[in-house]
Amino acid sequence: MKKIAISITALAILALSCSSGSANSLESSDQELSIKVTTVAETSGEDQTTGSDKPVYLTKQDFLEKVMNYEKNQSEWVYEGDLPALIDFYADWCGPCRKAAPILEELAKEYEGKIHIYKIDTEKEKELAAVFGIQSIPAFLFVPKSGKPTMSNGIAQTDEETKAMFKQMIDEILLKNES
């Protein structure tokens, strides 16, 4: 598990150092979905300093302010947040992404005040997807308050297994030093 985490961290750092690359286009489904995506600006000025009880949608500008300003810090990871964060890179047309969404909403309530759960729409924020080398979704970036982030892809077979997987990674990666 540590070798995988180290490899993923190395890939994330490499992706950050190559931030001038172009975004890979993701294939879209023929089906259109009518899902309303709420941005941080539309959440009526919610205070994000204490952790939210629901996932918060980030734009590039929000990411630069709340997570990591990769334009300013191109050679090292500098986390801008006040709490550890789980970042979901998703697309509306992605079935596994839609399956993970309600689980992340449950976890946002459960871990309110302990972590932030952010969502980044890879269709709207292609630069962010490119910076992190996102080629398949769902992809999840686990960002501890200090130290390097860890990337994970995909979900488990069942909702219960997926929730257990998230909880284990939150506890081991994000909250290990927070107790």
Residue 26 lies in a domain: no
Residue 113 lies in a domain: yes
pLDDT of the residue at 73: 84
Residue 18 annotated to the active site: no
Residue 35 lies in a domain: no
| The 3-state secondary structure of the chain, one letter per residue | CHHHHHHHHHHHHHHHHCCCCCCCCCCCCCCCCCCCCCCHHHCCCCCCCCCCCCCEECCHHHHHHHCCCCCCCCCCCCCCCCCCEEEEEECCCCHHHHHHHHHHHHHHHHCCCCCEEEEEECCCCHHHHHHCCCCCCCEEEEECCCCCCEEEECCCCCHHHHHHHHHHHHHHHHCCCCC
pLDDT of the residue at 98: 96
Q: What is the pLDDT along the chain (179 residues), one digit of tens a residue?
A: 444 444 444 444 434 333 333 333 333 333 333 223 333 333 333 444 455 788 999 999 999 999 999 999 888 889 999 999 999 999 999 999 999 999 999 999 999 999 999 999 999 999 999 999 999 999 999 999 988 999 999 999 999 999 999 999 999 999 986 55
Give the domain range for residue 54. Answer: 2-19+48-174
Residue 40 lies in a domain: no
pLDDT of the residue at 178: 57
pLDDT of the residue at 14: 39
Residue 29 lies in a domain: no
Q: Which residue of the set 94, 107, 137, 173 is catalytic? A: 94
CATH label of the domain that carries residue 11: 3.40.30.10
Residue 141 lies in a domain: yes
Q: Which residue of the set 87, 97, 128, 139 is catalytic? A: 97
pLDDT of the residue at 22: 31
pLDDT of the residue at 2: 45
User: Total domain count for the chain?
Assistant: 1
pTM confidence score: 0.71
Residue 126 lies in a domain: yes
Cα torsion angle, 153, 158, 159, 161, sign: negative
